[in-house]
């Protein structure tokens, strides 16, 4: 049996997925480096012929998912860490977006993760160990106008992950949700799908978000994260015997997490007297 830790990472052609695949290989681990087009990950695997395996994986295609999982087992004999990183953002107001666009967003960001988890879990259960890492976003804490459905998919990922960890924790399997702040990747251009409908009443809210950004330095965002540092942090969390369930990445993400907790606690307190009126009489 291969003694090296084996990772399978989805969405490795760019961004945090590419950085994580590169760093895990540099640390001497086995890595199944996946993308819808495996040719886009050749530059990652070429320097690690003994520990890297490039595999085609489209998370919206169940047959593709199963084939990639099977390839990992056949090549390395196990999957110790599964990383669900693949995803994209649909930009548009709730009223503007068509149902087929919404379904595609959920099919990739949510059901894609479900497919890989269901395919990998039989092997993790048999081994009585494993780590499942699901990428969420700070959008699950504070969703911007124009990104409602993206935020909704990430909230769904977090809710599913919370139930999952309670199911698989007793079996020796850990679950981690990653909540990244902004990182300088091509996500803001390549992974943005802009809805073509434009309702004038949303021009100053969702309409301002319906853009793709190539020049991130001109985006007016501060607090960008470093991709390689993020990869190192994720690996450190995965290898911790008692890892966090939710892991924020970056100072901006931490500030948003703190503000989210403060606002939620304040809202609960403000409306508590109304909330408890629903209690049945004793």
Query: Are 209 and 168 contacting, i.e. CB atoms less than 8 angstroms apart?
Result: no
CA distance linking residue 75 with residue 45, whole number of Å: 14
- 86 half-sphere exposure, CB direction, 13 A CA radius: 30
Q: How far apart are the first and last CA of the chain?
A: 61
Find the catalytic residue in 154, 161, 202, 210.
154
Cα separation of 140 and 136, whole Å? 7
Catalytically annotated residue among 18, 29, 123, 136: 136
Active site includes 137?
no
The residue from 150, 191, 202, 210 that is catalytic is 150
Beta-strand relationship, 81-84 and 52-56: unpaired
In the residue annotation, 229 being an active-site residue is answered as: no
Residue 156: CB partners within 8 Å, gap ≥ 6? Answer: 106, 109, 110
Q: CA separation (Å) from 179 to 51, 73, 132, 170? A: 28, 29, 14, 24
136 given a catalytic annotation: yes
What DSSP designation does 202 have?
G
DSSP E strand stretches across the chain: 6-9, 30-35, 52-56, 81-84, 89-91, 130-135, 173-180, 192-194, 246-249
Question: Residues 23, 99: contact at Cβ < 8 Å?
Answer: no
Q: Looking at the annotation, which residues are catalytic?
A: 136, 150, 154
């Amino acid at each position: 049996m291969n003694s090296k830790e084996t990772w399978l990472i989805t969405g490795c052609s760019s961004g945090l997925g590419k950085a994580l695949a590169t760093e895990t290989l540099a640390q001497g681990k086995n890595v199944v480096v996946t993308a819808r087009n495996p040719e886009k990950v050749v530059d990652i695997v070429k320097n690690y012929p003994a520990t890297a395996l490039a595999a085609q994986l489209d998370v919206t295609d169940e047959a593709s998912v199963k084939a990639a999982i099977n390839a990992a087992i056949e090549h390395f004999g196990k999957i110790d860490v599964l990383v669900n990183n693949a995803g994209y953002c649909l930009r548009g107001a709730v009223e503007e977006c068509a149902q087929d666009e919404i379904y595609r967003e959920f099919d990739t960001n949510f059901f894609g993760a479900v497919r890989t988890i269901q395919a990998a879990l039989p092997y993790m259960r048999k081994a009585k160990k494993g780590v499942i890492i699901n990428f969420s976003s700070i959008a699950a804490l504070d969703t911007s106008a124009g990104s409602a459905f993206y935020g909704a998919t990430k909230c769904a990922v977090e809710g599913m992950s919370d139930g999952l960890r309670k199911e698989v924790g007793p079996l020796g399997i850990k679950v981690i949700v990653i909540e990244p702040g902004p990182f300088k990747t091509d996500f803001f251009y390549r992974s943005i799908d802009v809805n073509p409908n434009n309702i004038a009443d949303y021009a100053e809210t969702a309409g301002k978000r319906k853009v793709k950004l190539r020049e991130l330095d001109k985006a007016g965002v501060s607090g960008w994260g470093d991709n390689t540092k993020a990869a190192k942090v994720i690996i450190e969390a995965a290898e911790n015997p008692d890892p966090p369930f939710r892991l924020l990445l970056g100072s901006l993400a931490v500030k948003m997490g703190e503000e989210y907790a403060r606002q939620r606690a304040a809202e609960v307190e403000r409306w508590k007297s109304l909330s408890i009126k629903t209690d049945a009489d004793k």
